Amino acid sequence: MPYNFKYIRCELQNRIMLLAINRPEVHNALNSELFREIGEVFQKMKDDPEVDVVVITGAGEKSFIAGSDVSEMSQCSLLEARKFALGVNDAQQKIANFPRPTIAAINGFAFGGGLEVAMCCDIRIASENAKFGQLEVDVGIIPGGGGTQRLARLIGTGRAKEMIYTCMIIDAQRAFEIGLVNRVVSKENLMEETMKLAKKIEQKSNVMLTLAKAAIDTGADMDLENALKTEIELFAECFGSVDGPEGLKAFVEKRKANIIGK
C-alpha cells in the first residue's frame, strides 16, 4: 500500500511504520495541510494489516514539532479559528484512537501543537536535548489541540496549569520526572532505542495489543466499576481469537506460541 505525502515521510520496517514530520525549514511546524495529512495517514494505516506499530518523529536534528504554524493562525477570524481547531482535533483524535500501539520519538523541540501530537501517542521517548512547553498564552491564544486536557490528565491539573499559565519550557529530565515522557535517552541513541521498543511490541499478538489498548483507553474515562466491567468483556474476547488459546496452550506445554495475529 503506497504512502506518499508532501509533509510526512513514511517508511515501513518489518510491520513498524516510521512517520517523520517533514517541514524542517520551519522546525516541522504544523499547518492545515500537514494536519490533514496526519489524519489521512492514520486512517490509511488503520486499514492496513501490515502496520502493527507506529513511530512518529521529526525530520532534522533540532525539532520534533515546534508547534502549530503561527503565521497561518494569525490570519484567522473567529470562525476560521474554530475550523482550524476542528481540523486539528480530527487529526489528533485519529492518532489517539488508532487501535494499535503508537510511540513518539521526541528528538528536540515539542512545543504547542507538537507536544499535543506527542501526548496523543501511547508512549513517549525523549532525547536528552528535547524541550517541552505549551507556549500559546505568550502569543495571545490558549492550547486548542488538546493541550489543556491531555496535559492535565498526564501530569495533573496543578502542573499543567503552571506550564500553560507561565509558558515555561521544561527539559527532558523534568518531563520524565513528572510523567510526561516514559524515558530519556541520548540524542544519538533515540531512534535505536525507540525502534528496539517498537520491535519488542511488534512481536506480540496484535490482537492482544489492540484489546489491551482498548481496555486502558476506554476505562480511563469511566468510573472504576464500569471500567472493570469493560476489562472483563475485552478479556473474554481474547478467548475468541486464535492467538489467545494458542498462547495459553503453549505456556502449559512449555513451548513457544505460534502467534499469527488473529
- 116 has catalytic annotation: yes
Q: How large is the average pLDDT for residues 217-229?
A: 95
User: 67-83 pLDDT, tens per residue?
Assistant: 888 888 888 889 988 99
Please report the pLDDT score of residue 129 as a whole number.
96
What is the predicted pLDDT for the residue at 262?
87
Fold type of domain 8-202: 2-enoyl-CoA Hydratase; Chain A, domain 1 (3.90.226)
Instruction: Given CATH 1.10.10, say whether it is the number of domain 206-252.
Output: no
Q: Where are the domains of the chain?
A: 8-202, 206-252
For residue 125, the model assigns a pLDDT of: 98
Of the residues 116, 193, 233, 253, only one is catalytic, namely: 116
Q: Residue 182: what pLDDT?
A: 98
Q: How many Cα atoms occupy the beta-carbon half-sphere of 149 within 13 Å? A: 10
Q: Which of 37, 136, 202, 231 is catalytic?
A: 136
Cβ neighbourhood burial of 24 (10 Å; 0-12, 13-18, 19+): middle
* pLDDT > 90 in the chain, percent: 87
Q: Which phi and psi (to 5°) does residue 104 adopt?
A: -100, 120
Q: What pLDDT band is residue 261 in, cutting at 50, 70 and 90?
A: confident
Please check the confidence at residue 164 and state whether its pLDDT lies above 90: yes
Convert the pLDDT of each residue in 89-115 to its tens digit.
999 999 999 999 999 999 999 999 999
Q: In the prediction, which pLDDT does 126 show?
A: 98
Which residues lie across from 56 on neighbouring strands? 19, 104
231 is catalytic: no
Write the pLDDT tens digit of every residue in 142-157: 999 999 999 999 999 9
